[in-house]
Amino acid sequence: MASENLAKLQATVNRFASKADFSQLTIDGGMGPKTANAIITTLAWVAANIQAETDTAGALVVKLAAGDGTPDQTAIMQNVVGINTYLWGVADVNQLAPAATVALTKPSGNTGTFTPDKSAFSVKPPPGAGFAASAQLWFRQLPTWGQVALGVGGGLGFLFAATRIKKGAKR
């Protein structure tokens, strides 16, 4: 059965494909050996190449792979949202561009399969996430022009409010 969260992780892992030297995954939301190996390969690459992430990524490799290095698909599926959130953050900080713009969404029928959609990054905040986390995810999903427009509008709103407060203090 396809998993929307796993499809999002596959899209995130694809951001590392050229750096970690593996072929991009098909974003199908299905767990298989290629997906599991790509996740472990990505985490191992992060541990070896990004000094600030060595401990965290290394611990995840140990947690998600058996002693012989074989990926534990069950452990990956149990932690898929956390792994995606972590790797997404690492990719953003290191300015790795999205490798795909295809996501999976449930079709209108109850067929249990997914169909392509326009954006692989329509991430929902985890349950219990605060307003700041929700706002940050929403802001990241805006196109660049939308982020600029929001910033300019917010700056103008701040200046307007500051001017009004200053006038009110002079009365």
List the domain boundaries for the chain: 4-122, 124-171
CA distances from 165 to 123, 151, 154, 160 (A): 38, 21, 16, 9
When pLDDT is averaged across residues 13-30 and rounded to a whole number, the result is 88
d(CA 26, CA 1): 15
pTM of the model: 0.58
When pLDDT is averaged across residues 20-39 and rounded to a whole number, the result is 89
Mean pLDDT value across the chain: 77
pLDDT tens-digit readout, 142-156: 777 878 888 899 889
Burial track 21-33 (b if 16+ CB lie within 10 A, e otherwise): ebebbebbbbbee
pLDDT tens-digit readout, 32-73: 889 989 998 999 889 898 888 878 888 888 888 877 778 888
Residues 71, 36 contacting (CB under 8 angstroms): yes
**39 or 101, higher pLDDT:** 39
